[in-house]
Structure 1
């Protein structure tokens, strides 16, 4: 391209390029690039001129070329598909008529901060430094699938999509596609606003993913789809507002999955799916109640921090493992969440909760959880087994309430002692029987193993005979349930 074919605005950029000097077309620093459609020819640049500079622009000995433009209107398609660009590309606060095409290009760095674009095709893009799209407004899809960025991706304060879906035929169409990408350091997207799906499936991030104060709006769809996402440290989304499903299935997060103060809403569907994940810590601190179900099946973490009021009416916790649970609360406040499991009775969830309390040294809570597990299991049994379970529960609390058995024994001992003291049973052999003692006679009937010589020496009759039968049966029942409870307790130790 000859310099004589350039407009005055394009000539300024052409002459500044060899020295990497900036060209600023703005009328004032606070100018809104959203008004770019009204900008005149004095700040309009053809995309083909920028392409010619980047691929075969002039250079000066001893200078490093670079494209640095602020506040320009770019007409036409900036097509660098498969291109090899050795110069930094920085177009800040610009307005693009058409979607740039950087498919499979290789660049040093790409900066489009504060710009307005109808979309961006940058799949399989390779960047030696970073991608900066902070404060951008991109109404069409942002295609970054398969991108390789040596440093970070910056999307702070960016707005993707709009009230009208990017694809009218598909309201669930993605606005950000970052699938199968490799990011060397961080993905920083604080205060990102996305009207549509955000995809990070199978993406590898060397540092952390930051979504603090982000708004992901995809009602009835998947707001964040990040299956098998792998990050080096944390996925932090404090104060996130997500309307639609958040899917993190199979993610690998060695640090924190921090959703503190986040609002997750997908009424009638799954609001949070983080199944089969490996996470260091899961934080749901000070979150309002999740609207929709939560699925944490088969996930492994060291710490799960979530207050009971966070859990919705339907949760899936089977196979969830954690070493510690916060905040530390009485077991009675944690148990209702286990009752809401969509798969019904899940014994592992009770065992895991008991293990967490055991780790914390709260033995009383451990017994409460194990008792609740057996009561929940009882509902799944046939009628006869359920009756036996009720008896064990009423007598000794399945062995986890041993003082209850002592109370029953004391009550029966008192009843029998009074009854036999008022009317002594007749001796079997007069003159040979030991002196009658109503207390030890009752103990002889109640305790099937210990003998005091009273039961064999006396024979009750009438009402007392039926009372003795009751004491014998009750004694055997108590002995059996106590033995079963002790065995169960010892086996869990």
Structure 2
């Protein structure tokens, strides 16, 4: 490129480049790049001039680290660095790009575009040795970073990405699928109108989405299938309209959705099936607007309040070691009745195991009892009657004191009845003295004999009372034995 063709603004950039010095075209520190379309020739730099500098056409000074450092410029034309190898850092802050930069397959030292306005960015498979910054950018068009390799971090905090009129239908607004980030993705306060695609990405550190807004109603807002994170996924106060999809992700630390507002009416709002997550936090969240799918997920800790669960959940195969906050079993059980597949015995067993881990055996027994009651409704009618009898009498073995209360009530009733009307002696003069209490015990507990039942024979309705005591005694004995046996098996 001939330097005689440079404008005064371009000459300033050309002369500063060999020393890595900055050129600031801003009239005031608060100038916004959103107004860059109106900037005149004094702030305009052609993209071809920047490309020539970065590819070695500019001057060099021994002992200096060359670099492009520009603020507040209007860049015309397309900055085309496709497949280029650039050994100099690129810092274009507060700049207005008339056309989207083309960085496909480029190898860059560092790229900083913070606070700039761009009509999109094409940088699939780009290689960045240090850092890529898009902080507080306003981007109207897709950001294509799929397959990117960034040794340092990716910064997107405060950025706004929205589609431009005429964009290809169905294309994700922010594409980071299969990218590899050496340290962190910092995207606090990010706003994406469309899909944020992270599936298959590998992040060495953490992904930060605190206070982010992901807006793709009726579709997938965050597509992060098989995402691998080194530490945490932090999304406190996330506002998502559309599905948050974490299927198959690996997050060894925390997946933090504290105070997040997740909604996808008529569909699934949160899908984390087949995930492996250290701690899943849904603390102090409003009720989730849409389904929750945690099938086959493996969690060390699940933190969720009962009111956060939506009306439809899928937890088949979900495993977790602890459940927080620690609440009474009666507050946790209604959520299991919302399982879209119906009755799932494993879900009850998992909840009971979590209570045992917390040392709350009473709550674990309550869950087991609720499981058997729910199971009873799936049985044939005759089996339901037997189950109902076990429930009423001994609570399926989880309420053994009920049997004692029934026996005591029958003992008192029988003793009073036979005390008021002694049954006749079978053999006159050979019978022992009649004792209504032990006579009733003889009838109710046939394995115990006090010699009363064999010596006396009631008549009339007292005889029917004796039949009732015999039958109920056998039933109570049988159900009590079954309950004790079940309790021993649990222990």
Structures share fold, TM-score greater than 0.5: yes
Q: Who is 2:435 aligned against? A: 437
| Deviation of the 1:485 alpha carbon | 1.3
Instruction: Count the aligned residue pairs.
Output: 490
Q: Who is 1:228 aligned against? A: 226
Structure 1 runs of 4+ aligned residues shifted over 6 Å read none
**Using the alignment, how far apart are the partners of 2:439 and 2:102 within structure 1?**
97
**Do 1:281 and 1:304's aligned partners in 2 also have CA atoms closer than 8 Å?**
yes
Give the 3 Å change call, closer, same or farther, for CA 63–135 of structure 1 in structure 2.
same
| Deviation of the 1:166 alpha carbon | 6.7
Partner SS for 1:455: coil
User: Residue 241 of structure 2 is aligned with which of 240, 243, 247?
Assistant: 243
Q: Who is 1:101 aligned against? A: 102
CA distances 1:382-410 after superposition (whole Å, capped 9, x unpaired): 11111111111111111111121111111
**Do 1:165 and 1:195's aligned partners in 2 also have CA atoms closer than 8 Å?**
no
Residue 70 (structure 2) pairs with residue 72 (structure 1): no
Q: Who is 1:149 aligned against? A: 150
Q: Which moved more, 1:480-489 or 1:303-312?
A: 480-489
Q: Who is 2:12 aligned against? A: 12
Q: Who is 1:192 aligned against? A: 190
Report matched runs for 1:211-360 at 5 Å: 211-360=209-358
**Do 1:301 and 1:321's aligned partners in 2 also have CA atoms closer than 8 Å?**
yes
Q: Who is 2:464 aligned against? A: 466
| Deviation of the 1:59 alpha carbon | 1.3
Residue 397 (structure 2) pairs with residue 399 (structure 1): yes
Partner SS for 2:130: coil
CA distances 1:248-303 after superposition (whole Å, capped 9, x unpaired): 01111111011000000111110001111111111111111111111111111111
Partner SS for 1:352: helix
**Using the alignment, how far apart are the partners of 1:141 and 1:446 within structure 2?**
81
Report matched runs for 1:447-486 at 5 Å: 447-486=445-484
| Deviation of the 1:101 alpha carbon | 0.7
**Using the alignment, how far apart are the partners of 2:281 and 2:52 within structure 1?**
50
Partner SS for 1:450: coil
Q: Which moved more, 1:401-410 or 1:256-265?
A: 401-410
Partner SS for 2:370: helix
Partner SS for 2:340: coil
**Using the alignment, how far apart are the partners of 1:390 and 1:235 within structure 2?**
47
| Deviation of the 1:431 alpha carbon | 2.3
Q: Who is 1:167 aligned against? A: 167
Q: Who is 2:51 aligned against? A: 51
CA distances 1:205-252 after superposition (whole Å, capped 9, x unpaired): 010000000011111111101001110110000000001100001111
Q: Who is 1:202 aligned against? A: 200
| Deviation of the 1:46 alpha carbon | 1.1
| Deviation of the 1:64 alpha carbon | 1.2
Q: Who is 2:141 aligned against? A: 140
**Using the alignment, how far apart are the partners of 1:456 and 1:143 within structure 2?**
93
| Deviation of the 1:5 alpha carbon | 1.5
Partner SS for 1:61: coil
Give the 3 Å change call, closer, same or farther, for CA 212–425 of structure 1 in structure 2.
same
**Using the alignment, how far apart are the partners of 1:165 and 1:463 within structure 2?**
90
Q: Who is 2:91 aligned against? A: 90
- Please, what TM-score do these two structures have when normalized by structure 1? 0.98
| Deviation of the 1:321 alpha carbon | 1.2
**Do 1:89 and 1:109's aligned partners in 2 also have CA atoms closer than 8 Å?**
yes
Q: Who is 1:35 aligned against? A: 35
Give the 3 Å change call, closer, same or farther, for CA 168–108 of structure 1 in structure 2.
closer
Give the 3 Å change call, closer, same or farther, for CA 38–466 of structure 1 in structure 2.
same
Partner SS for 1:174: coil
| Deviation of the 1:168 alpha carbon | 6.2
Q: Who is 2:121 aligned against? A: 120
**Using the alignment, how far apart are the partners of 2:223 and 2:443 within structure 1?**
68
**Using the alignment, how far apart are the partners of 1:316 and 1:491 within structure 2?**
29
**Using the alignment, how far apart are the partners of 2:210 and 2:488 within structure 1?**
48
**Do 1:141 and 1:166's aligned partners in 2 also have CA atoms closer than 8 Å?**
no
Report the aligned-residue RMSD.
Answer: 1.2
**Do 1:204 and 1:229's aligned partners in 2 also have CA atoms closer than 8 Å?**
yes
CA distances 1:353-391 after superposition (whole Å, capped 9, x unpaired): 111111111121111111111111111111111111111
Give the 3 Å change call, closer, same or farther, for CA 165–275 of structure 1 in structure 2.
farther
Partner SS for 2:469: helix
**Using the alignment, how far apart are the partners of 2:416 and 2:360 within structure 1?**
41
| Deviation of the 1:492 alpha carbon | 1.7
- Please, what TM-score do these two structures have when normalized by structure 2? 0.98
**Do 1:179 and 1:199's aligned partners in 2 also have CA atoms closer than 8 Å?**
yes
CA distances 1:418-474 after superposition (whole Å, capped 9, x unpaired): 111112222222222222111111111111322222112222222122111111111
Q: Which moved more, 1:451-460 or 1:46-55?
A: 451-460
CA distances 1:135-165 after superposition (whole Å, capped 9, x unpaired): 0011100000000000100000000115x67
Give the 3 Å change call, closer, same or farther, for CA 165–482 of structure 1 in structure 2.
farther
**Do 1:127 and 1:148's aligned partners in 2 also have CA atoms closer than 8 Å?**
yes
